[in-house]
Amino acid sequence: MGIRWIDIIEKIYREIDDIVINCSSCSPSSRCVEELTQSLPIGIRVLGECCACVFETVLETIPTIDRLYTHLDTGDSVAIYALDDIIVEISQTSVMLIPTTLLTSYLDLIDESGYRDAEVVRNWLKSRVEH
């Protein structure tokens, strides 16, 4: 079994004081953890810049997580991480949390999101999630 949502959340809770030092978008009153629960999100959730930095900081330290780096038509870079039970999409300004049970809905969003290589992203996600 690979990395799951709960593993990431527990790591964030444990290390939040060290993590936010590197995240200038976070403040003492807004450290992202207030917006996170240990249970998997029920639907697709979008969180702001502080959470994007927190998730990126944590996920980049775990080399065993499958990831894909891509760009939008606007030139903005996006990182997509495939955990066992959730997809995490991180941009400069937000993080989108997509339970793997909602993969079909997310694949529809990809077509509307302006990915330069939407077909590559779709195929990569399908190969990671649909075992």
Q: pLDDT tens across 22-39, in order?
A: 899 998 777 788 889 999
What average pLDDT does this structure show over 108-124?
Answer: 86
Distance (Å, rounded) from C-alpha 94 to C-alpha 31?
14
Residue 1's pLDDT is 64
Q: Is the pLDDT of residue 113 over 60?
A: yes
Q: pTM to 2 decimals? A: 0.93
User: Which residue pairs from 14-22 have beta carbons closer than 8 angstroms and sit at least 24 positions apart in sequence?
Assistant: 15/58, 16/54, 19/54, 19/57, 19/58, 20/50, 20/54, 22/53, 22/57
